[in-house]
Protein backbone atom coordinates (compact mmCIF):
# COMPACT_ATOMS: atom_id res chain seq x y z
CA UNK A 1 0.00 0.00 0.00
CA UNK A 2 1.15 3.51 -0.86
CA UNK A 3 -0.31 6.51 0.96
CA UNK A 4 0.33 10.04 -0.28
CA UNK A 5 -1.25 13.42 -0.91
CA UNK A 6 -3.32 13.45 -4.09
CA UNK A 7 -2.52 15.37 -7.24
CA UNK A 8 -4.54 16.37 -10.31
CA UNK A 9 -3.97 12.97 -11.91
CA UNK A 10 -5.88 11.28 -9.07
CA UNK A 11 -9.06 13.31 -9.47
CA UNK A 12 -10.98 10.84 -11.64
CA UNK A 13 -10.23 7.95 -9.27
CA UNK A 14 -11.17 10.09 -6.25
CA UNK A 15 -14.45 11.05 -7.90
CA UNK A 16 -15.22 7.41 -8.70
CA UNK A 17 -14.59 6.26 -5.13
CA UNK A 18 -16.69 9.13 -3.74
CA UNK A 19 -19.52 8.28 -6.15
CA UNK A 20 -19.36 4.63 -5.08
CA UNK A 21 -19.37 5.36 -1.33
CA UNK A 22 -21.40 8.58 -1.07
CA UNK A 23 -23.32 10.70 -3.62
CA UNK A 24 -23.49 9.69 -7.28
CA UNK A 25 -21.95 11.90 -9.94
CA UNK A 26 -25.40 13.17 -10.87
CA UNK A 27 -26.07 14.40 -7.34
CA UNK A 28 -25.99 18.23 -7.01
CA UNK A 29 -23.65 18.10 -4.03
CA UNK A 30 -21.19 15.88 -5.89
CA UNK A 31 -21.14 18.32 -8.78
CA UNK A 32 -20.69 21.29 -6.43
CA UNK A 33 -17.96 19.67 -4.37
CA UNK A 34 -15.78 18.51 -7.24
CA UNK A 35 -16.22 21.68 -9.26
CA UNK A 36 -15.74 24.23 -6.48
CA UNK A 37 -14.55 22.72 -3.20
CA UNK A 38 -12.35 19.67 -3.80
CA UNK A 39 -8.66 20.27 -3.07
CA UNK A 40 -6.28 17.45 -4.06
CA UNK A 41 -3.50 19.03 -2.00
CA UNK A 42 -5.65 18.40 1.09
CA UNK A 43 -6.63 14.82 0.23
CA UNK A 44 -4.83 11.69 1.40
CA UNK A 45 -5.12 8.73 -0.97
CA UNK A 46 -4.13 5.09 -0.59
CA UNK A 47 -3.20 2.93 -3.60
CA UNK A 48 -2.73 -0.78 -3.98
CA UNK A 49 -0.87 -0.84 -7.29
CA UNK A 50 -3.04 1.20 -9.67
CA UNK A 51 -6.22 0.81 -7.61
CA UNK A 52 -7.33 3.66 -5.35
CA UNK A 53 -8.45 1.74 -2.27
CA UNK A 54 -8.97 4.51 0.29
CA UNK A 55 -9.05 8.26 0.80
CA UNK A 56 -9.77 10.99 3.30
CA UNK A 57 -10.32 14.67 2.56
CA UNK A 58 -8.53 17.01 4.98
CA UNK A 59 -10.65 20.17 4.90
CA UNK A 60 -8.92 23.17 6.43
CA UNK A 61 -10.69 24.96 9.27
CA UNK A 62 -9.92 27.25 12.17
CA UNK A 63 -11.48 26.37 15.53
CA UNK A 64 -11.94 28.63 18.51
CA UNK A 65 -10.68 26.51 21.42
CA UNK A 66 -10.62 28.22 24.81
CA UNK A 67 -10.44 31.57 23.03
CA UNK A 68 -7.46 30.62 20.85
CA UNK A 69 -7.64 30.27 17.06
CA UNK A 70 -6.43 26.77 16.28
CA UNK A 71 -5.84 25.56 12.69
CA UNK A 72 -7.18 22.03 12.21
CA UNK A 73 -7.90 19.54 9.48
CA UNK A 74 -11.52 18.41 9.43
CA UNK A 75 -11.54 14.85 8.09
CA UNK A 76 -14.44 14.16 5.72
CA UNK A 77 -15.13 11.65 2.98
CA UNK A 78 -13.30 8.83 4.74
CA UNK A 79 -13.78 5.96 2.31
CA UNK A 80 -12.41 2.50 1.58
CA UNK A 81 -13.23 0.48 -1.51
CA UNK A 82 -15.18 -2.67 -0.50
CA UNK A 83 -12.52 -4.87 -2.11
CA UNK A 84 -10.05 -3.61 0.49
CA UNK A 85 -12.25 -3.52 3.61
CA UNK A 86 -11.63 -5.55 6.77
CA UNK A 87 -7.92 -5.60 6.07
CA UNK A 88 -6.79 -2.76 8.29
CA UNK A 89 -6.64 -0.25 5.43
CA UNK A 90 -8.75 2.29 7.33
CA UNK A 91 -6.33 2.40 10.24
CA UNK A 92 -3.36 2.69 7.90
CA UNK A 93 -5.05 5.57 6.08
CA UNK A 94 -5.68 7.43 9.35
CA UNK A 95 -2.09 6.87 10.50
CA UNK A 96 -0.74 8.23 7.21
CA UNK A 97 -3.03 11.25 7.55
CA UNK A 98 -1.83 11.97 11.09
CA UNK A 99 1.78 11.75 9.90
CA UNK A 100 1.03 14.26 7.15
CA UNK A 101 -0.72 16.66 9.54
CA UNK A 102 2.22 16.45 11.93
CA UNK A 103 4.52 17.51 9.08
CA UNK A 104 2.22 20.45 8.47
CA UNK A 105 2.52 21.57 12.07
CA UNK A 106 -1.05 20.89 13.16
CA UNK A 107 -1.70 19.69 16.70
CA UNK A 108 -5.36 18.63 16.58
CA UNK A 109 -7.69 17.09 14.00
CA UNK A 110 -11.47 16.71 14.08
CA UNK A 111 -14.20 14.74 12.35
CA UNK A 112 -17.95 14.08 12.43
CA UNK A 113 -18.27 10.31 12.83
CA UNK A 114 -20.76 8.03 11.17
CA UNK A 115 -19.73 5.42 13.75
CA UNK A 116 -17.84 6.85 16.70
CA UNK A 117 -16.64 3.44 17.90
CA UNK A 118 -14.55 2.97 14.76
CA UNK A 119 -12.54 6.11 15.50
CA UNK A 120 -12.39 5.66 19.27
CA UNK A 121 -10.19 2.60 18.83
CA UNK A 122 -7.68 4.89 17.10
CA UNK A 123 -7.54 7.64 19.71
CA UNK A 124 -10.40 9.94 18.69
CA UNK A 125 -12.91 10.92 21.36
CA UNK A 126 -16.24 12.76 21.31
CA UNK A 127 -15.74 16.35 22.38
CA UNK A 128 -19.23 17.55 21.46
CA UNK A 129 -22.76 16.20 21.51
CA UNK A 130 -25.86 18.03 20.36
CA UNK A 131 -29.44 18.08 21.45
CA UNK A 132 -31.79 16.53 18.91
CA UNK A 133 -35.31 17.81 19.44
CA UNK A 134 -38.24 16.22 17.64
CA UNK A 135 -41.79 17.54 17.89
CA UNK A 136 -44.88 17.38 15.75
CA UNK A 137 -45.50 20.70 14.04
CA UNK A 138 -48.75 21.04 15.99
CA UNK A 139 -46.79 20.77 19.25
CA UNK A 140 -44.69 23.78 18.22
CA UNK A 141 -47.58 26.21 18.55
CA UNK A 142 -47.10 27.16 22.23
CA UNK A 143 -43.37 27.63 21.59
CA UNK A 144 -43.76 30.19 18.81
CA UNK A 145 -43.50 33.98 18.64
CA UNK A 146 -45.37 35.82 15.86
CA UNK A 147 -43.82 39.27 16.33
CA UNK A 148 -40.86 38.71 13.97
CA UNK A 149 -40.86 38.79 10.19
CA UNK A 150 -39.44 36.12 7.87
CA UNK A 151 -36.81 36.20 5.15
CA UNK A 152 -35.19 33.59 2.92
CA UNK A 153 -31.55 33.75 1.90
CA UNK A 154 -31.17 33.89 -1.87
CA UNK A 155 -27.42 33.76 -2.53
CA UNK A 156 -23.96 33.34 -1.03
CA UNK A 157 -23.56 37.12 -1.21
CA UNK A 158 -25.98 37.45 1.72
CA UNK A 159 -23.60 35.73 4.15
CA UNK A 160 -23.21 39.02 6.03
CA UNK A 161 -26.80 38.67 7.25
CA UNK A 162 -25.93 35.49 9.12
CA UNK A 163 -22.38 36.19 10.32
CA UNK A 164 -23.29 38.55 13.23
CA UNK A 165 -25.90 36.07 14.48
CA UNK A 166 -23.40 33.22 14.42
CA UNK A 167 -20.79 35.32 16.22
CA UNK A 168 -23.23 36.35 18.94
CA UNK A 169 -24.48 32.78 19.39
CA UNK A 170 -20.97 31.34 19.74
CA UNK A 171 -19.63 34.04 22.07
CA UNK A 172 -18.30 32.41 25.21
CA UNK A 173 -18.39 28.94 23.65
CA UNK A 174 -15.54 26.68 22.56
CA UNK A 175 -14.75 24.15 19.85
CA UNK A 176 -16.67 25.87 17.06
CA UNK A 177 -15.53 26.75 13.53
CA UNK A 178 -14.49 30.35 12.97
CA UNK A 179 -16.21 31.65 9.84
CA UNK A 180 -14.94 34.44 7.64
CA UNK A 181 -16.20 35.29 4.15
CA UNK A 182 -14.43 32.32 2.54
CA UNK A 183 -15.94 29.86 5.02
CA UNK A 184 -19.43 31.35 4.76
CA UNK A 185 -19.42 31.26 0.97
CA UNK A 186 -18.16 27.68 0.97
CA UNK A 187 -20.84 26.59 3.46
CA UNK A 188 -23.71 28.40 1.77
CA UNK A 189 -22.57 27.15 -1.62
CA UNK A 190 -22.84 23.57 -0.39
CA UNK A 191 -26.30 24.27 1.11
CA UNK A 192 -27.67 25.74 -2.10
CA UNK A 193 -26.14 22.92 -4.16
CA UNK A 194 -28.07 20.38 -2.08
CA UNK A 195 -31.35 22.28 -2.22
CA UNK A 196 -31.12 23.24 1.45
CA UNK A 197 -32.92 26.43 2.50
CA UNK A 198 -31.78 29.14 4.90
CA UNK A 199 -34.47 31.23 6.58
CA UNK A 200 -34.04 34.10 9.02
CA UNK A 201 -36.29 36.12 11.31
CA UNK A 202 -36.04 39.85 11.85
CA UNK A 203 -37.70 42.81 13.52
CA UNK A 204 -39.64 45.49 11.63
CA UNK A 205 -36.51 47.62 11.40
CA UNK A 206 -34.49 44.75 9.87
CA UNK A 207 -32.64 43.50 12.96
CA UNK A 208 -32.03 39.78 12.36
CA UNK A 209 -32.42 37.65 15.51
CA UNK A 210 -31.96 34.11 14.20
CA UNK A 211 -31.60 31.80 11.23
CA UNK A 212 -32.35 28.15 10.45
CA UNK A 213 -30.94 25.78 7.83
CA UNK A 214 -33.56 23.23 6.78
CA UNK A 215 -34.72 20.92 4.01
CA UNK A 216 -38.19 20.16 2.65
CA UNK A 217 -39.38 17.01 0.90
CA UNK A 218 -40.15 14.58 3.73
CA UNK A 219 -42.78 14.34 6.44
CA UNK A 220 -40.14 15.14 9.06
CA UNK A 221 -38.46 18.47 8.34
CA UNK A 222 -34.77 18.34 9.36
CA UNK A 223 -33.13 21.55 10.61
CA UNK A 224 -29.36 21.17 10.69
CA UNK A 225 -28.35 24.60 11.97
CA UNK A 226 -30.52 26.58 14.37
CA UNK A 227 -28.92 29.83 15.55
CA UNK A 228 -30.37 32.83 17.36
CA UNK A 229 -29.44 35.79 19.53
CA UNK A 230 -32.49 35.77 21.81
CA UNK A 231 -35.25 33.48 22.99
CA UNK A 232 -37.60 35.55 20.87
CA UNK A 233 -35.39 34.76 17.88
CA UNK A 234 -35.59 31.05 18.65
CA UNK A 235 -39.38 31.20 18.99
CA UNK A 236 -39.63 33.25 15.81
CA UNK A 237 -37.81 30.51 13.91
CA UNK A 238 -40.11 27.88 15.40
CA UNK A 239 -43.06 30.01 14.27
CA UNK A 240 -41.66 30.06 10.73
CA UNK A 241 -41.33 26.28 10.78
CA UNK A 242 -44.79 25.89 12.33
CA UNK A 243 -46.14 27.52 9.18
CA UNK A 244 -44.97 24.50 7.17
CA UNK A 245 -47.75 22.23 8.43
CA UNK A 246 -48.90 21.56 4.87
CA UNK A 247 -45.39 20.42 3.91
CA UNK A 248 -44.61 18.11 6.80
CA UNK A 249 -45.92 16.67 10.03
CA UNK A 250 -42.93 17.02 12.38
CA UNK A 251 -39.66 18.84 12.82
CA UNK A 252 -36.26 17.66 14.01
CA UNK A 253 -33.70 20.28 14.91
CA UNK A 254 -30.26 20.28 16.50
CA UNK A 255 -29.00 22.68 19.14
CA UNK A 256 -25.93 23.08 21.28
CA UNK A 257 -25.94 21.32 24.64
CA UNK A 258 -25.88 24.69 26.37
CA UNK A 259 -29.52 25.30 25.42
CA UNK A 260 -32.00 24.17 28.08
CA UNK A 261 -35.21 25.63 26.72
CA UNK A 262 -36.61 22.09 26.46
CA UNK A 263 -37.57 22.56 30.12
CA UNK A 264 -40.44 24.73 28.87
CA UNK A 265 -41.53 22.42 26.06
CA UNK A 266 -44.84 20.59 26.37
CA UNK A 267 -44.17 17.58 28.62
CA UNK A 268 -40.61 18.66 29.29
CA UNK A 269 -38.11 16.35 27.66
CA UNK A 270 -40.49 14.48 25.36
CA UNK A 271 -38.80 14.13 21.98
CA UNK A 272 -35.52 15.42 23.38
CA UNK A 273 -32.38 13.29 22.99
CA UNK A 274 -28.65 13.70 22.43
CA UNK A 275 -26.52 12.69 19.47
CA UNK A 276 -22.75 12.21 19.15
CA UNK A 277 -21.54 15.12 17.05
CA UNK A 278 -17.83 15.96 16.81
CA UNK A 279 -14.67 14.02 17.65
CA UNK A 280 -11.16 15.31 18.17
CA UNK A 281 -7.73 13.72 18.23
CA UNK A 282 -4.29 14.97 19.10
CA UNK A 283 -1.96 14.89 16.11
CA UNK A 284 1.11 16.00 18.05
CA UNK A 285 1.19 16.44 21.83
CA UNK A 286 3.75 19.26 21.91
CA UNK A 287 1.95 21.30 19.24
CA UNK A 288 -1.51 20.67 20.68
CA UNK A 289 -0.54 21.82 24.16
CA UNK A 290 1.21 24.88 22.75
CA UNK A 291 -1.78 25.99 20.68
CA UNK A 292 -4.48 25.55 23.35
CA UNK A 293 -3.99 28.03 26.22
CA UNK A 294 -4.31 27.17 29.89
CA UNK A 295 -6.74 29.18 32.01
CA UNK A 296 -4.85 31.32 34.50
CA UNK A 297 -7.07 32.82 37.20
CA UNK A 298 -6.31 35.53 39.75
CA UNK A 299 -5.24 33.00 42.40
CA UNK A 300 -3.10 30.77 40.19
CA UNK A 301 0.20 32.37 41.22
CA UNK A 302 -0.43 31.47 44.87
CA UNK A 303 -1.02 27.77 44.23
CA UNK A 304 1.39 25.16 45.57
CA UNK A 305 4.06 24.30 43.04
CA UNK A 306 3.95 27.60 41.15
CA UNK A 307 7.49 28.99 41.06
CA UNK A 308 7.82 32.75 41.68
CA UNK A 309 4.22 33.17 40.56
CA UNK A 310 5.29 32.47 36.99
CA UNK A 311 5.55 28.77 36.10
CA UNK A 312 4.21 25.37 37.10
CA UNK A 313 6.01 22.24 35.88
CA UNK A 314 5.00 18.58 36.02
CA UNK A 315 5.78 15.36 34.18
CA UNK A 316 3.20 13.79 31.88
CA UNK A 317 3.11 10.33 30.36
CA UNK A 318 1.07 9.91 27.17
CA UNK A 319 -0.09 6.57 25.77
CA UNK A 320 -0.69 6.46 22.01
CA UNK A 321 -0.48 3.17 20.15
CA UNK A 322 -1.36 4.69 16.76
CA UNK A 323 0.60 7.94 16.48
CA UNK A 324 3.63 6.42 18.15
CA UNK A 325 5.60 9.69 18.08
CA UNK A 326 3.24 10.88 20.85
CA UNK A 327 3.97 7.94 23.16
CA UNK A 328 6.35 8.86 25.95
CA UNK A 329 7.19 11.19 28.81
CA UNK A 330 6.94 14.99 28.69
CA UNK A 331 8.02 17.82 30.93
CA UNK A 332 5.12 20.24 30.84
CA UNK A 333 5.51 23.88 31.90
CA UNK A 334 2.51 26.17 32.32
CA UNK A 335 3.36 29.86 32.18
CA UNK A 336 1.53 32.75 33.82
CA UNK A 337 0.35 34.04 30.42
CA UNK A 338 -1.39 30.72 29.68
CA UNK A 339 1.23 29.43 27.26
CA UNK A 340 2.08 25.74 27.73
CA UNK A 341 5.32 24.00 26.75
CA UNK A 342 5.48 20.21 26.53
CA UNK A 343 9.00 18.92 25.93
CA UNK A 344 9.41 15.22 25.24
CA UNK A 345 12.09 13.68 27.45
CA UNK A 346 11.65 9.97 26.73
CA UNK A 347 10.00 7.73 24.13
CA UNK A 348 8.45 5.60 26.85
CA UNK A 349 6.23 6.44 29.81
CA UNK A 350 8.57 6.57 32.81
CA UNK A 351 7.49 4.88 36.03
CA UNK A 352 7.86 8.09 38.06
CA UNK A 353 5.75 10.44 35.93
CA UNK A 354 3.26 12.51 37.90
CA UNK A 355 0.32 12.05 35.52
CA UNK A 356 -0.42 9.43 32.84
CA UNK A 357 -3.07 10.00 30.18
CA UNK A 358 -4.38 8.17 27.16
CA UNK A 359 -4.04 10.39 24.10
CA UNK A 360 -7.82 10.57 23.66
CA UNK A 361 -8.30 11.68 27.25
CA UNK A 362 -5.70 14.43 26.83
CA UNK A 363 -7.66 15.66 23.81
CA UNK A 364 -10.84 15.84 25.92
CA UNK A 365 -8.99 17.88 28.55
CA UNK A 366 -7.65 20.37 26.02
CA UNK A 367 -10.98 20.69 24.20
CA UNK A 368 -12.76 21.22 27.53
CA UNK A 369 -15.15 18.29 27.20
CA UNK A 370 -14.13 16.62 30.48
CA UNK A 371 -11.97 17.55 33.44
CA UNK A 372 -8.94 15.61 34.62
CA UNK A 373 -10.87 14.42 37.69
CA UNK A 374 -13.73 13.07 35.56
CA UNK A 375 -11.24 11.21 33.38
CA UNK A 376 -9.53 9.92 36.52
CA UNK A 377 -12.86 8.44 37.55
CA UNK A 378 -13.23 6.86 34.09
CA UNK A 379 -9.78 5.29 34.34
CA UNK A 380 -8.45 7.29 31.38
CA UNK A 381 -6.07 9.35 33.51
CA UNK A 382 -4.10 8.56 36.66
CA UNK A 383 -1.64 10.51 38.75
CA UNK A 384 -0.81 12.62 41.75
CA UNK A 385 -3.73 14.34 43.42
CA UNK A 386 -2.08 17.77 43.49
CA UNK A 387 -1.27 17.73 39.77
CA UNK A 388 -4.76 16.52 38.90
CA UNK A 389 -6.13 19.45 40.92
CA UNK A 390 -3.94 21.88 38.98
CA UNK A 391 -5.12 20.40 35.66
CA UNK A 392 -8.72 20.91 36.75
CA UNK A 393 -7.91 24.54 37.50
CA UNK A 394 -6.11 25.39 34.26
CA UNK A 395 -8.27 23.26 31.95
CA UNK A 396 -11.85 23.77 33.19
CA UNK A 397 -14.85 22.45 31.27
CA UNK A 398 -16.09 24.43 28.28
CA UNK A 399 -19.45 24.80 26.62
CA UNK A 400 -19.48 23.52 23.06
CA UNK A 401 -21.65 24.27 20.08
CA UNK A 402 -22.07 23.69 16.36
CA UNK A 403 -19.18 22.94 14.00
CA UNK A 404 -21.22 22.71 10.84
CA UNK A 405 -19.04 21.83 7.93
CA UNK A 406 -21.03 18.80 6.88
CA UNK A 407 -19.20 16.99 4.09
CA UNK A 408 -17.66 20.24 2.86
Q: Would you say 53 and 1 are in contact if contact means Cβ atoms under 8 Å apart?
A: yes
Phi, psi at 222, each rounded to 5°: -85, 135
Among residues 286, 287, 332, 293, which one has the least CA distance to residue 311? 332
Domains of the chain: 2-111 (3.40.630.30), 130-278 (3.40.630.30), 285-394 (3.30.1050.10)
- Rounded Cα distance between 183 and 168, Å, is 17
> Residues with Cβ < 8 Å from 407, sequence gap 6 or more?
22, 29, 33, 76, 77, 190
Report the predicted TM-score, pTM, of the whole model to 2 decimal places. 0.93
Note the residue count of the chain.
408
Phi, psi at 90, each rounded to 5°: -60, -45
Q: Would you say 74 and 405 are in contact if contact means Cβ atoms under 8 Å apart?
A: yes
pLDDT by residue for the chain (408 residues), tens only, comes to 899 999 999 999 999 999 999 999 999 999 999 999 999 999 999 999 999 999 999 999 999 999 999 999 999 999 998 877 767 889 999 999 999 999 999 999 999 998 999 999 999 999 998 888 888 999 889 899 999 999 999 999 999 999 999 999 999 899 999 999 999 999 999 999 889 999 999 999 999 999 999 999 999 999 999 999 999 999 999 999 999 999 999 999 888 888 887 777 776 666 678 888 999 999 999 999 999 999 999 999 999 999 999 999 999 999 999 999 999 999 999 999 999 999 999 999 999 999 999 999 999 999 999 999 999 999 999 999 999 999 999 999 998 866 555 555
Q: Would you say 121 and 358 are in contact if contact means Cβ atoms under 8 Å apart?
A: no
E-state strands within 95-214: 108-111, 125-136, 149-152, 176-177, 197-202, 208-214
Amino acid sequence: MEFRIANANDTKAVENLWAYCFETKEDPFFQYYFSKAYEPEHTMVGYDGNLLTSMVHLRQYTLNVRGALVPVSYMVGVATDPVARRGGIGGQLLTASLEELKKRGQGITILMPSKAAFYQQYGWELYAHQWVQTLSLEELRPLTDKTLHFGLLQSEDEWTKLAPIYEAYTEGLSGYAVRGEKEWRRLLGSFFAEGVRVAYVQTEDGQIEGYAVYRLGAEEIPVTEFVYTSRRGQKGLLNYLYNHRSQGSSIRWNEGMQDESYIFHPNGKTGHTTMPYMMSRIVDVTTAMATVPAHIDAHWANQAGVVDGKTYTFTLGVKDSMATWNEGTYEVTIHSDGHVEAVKTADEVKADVQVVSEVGALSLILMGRMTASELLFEGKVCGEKAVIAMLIRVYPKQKHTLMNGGKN
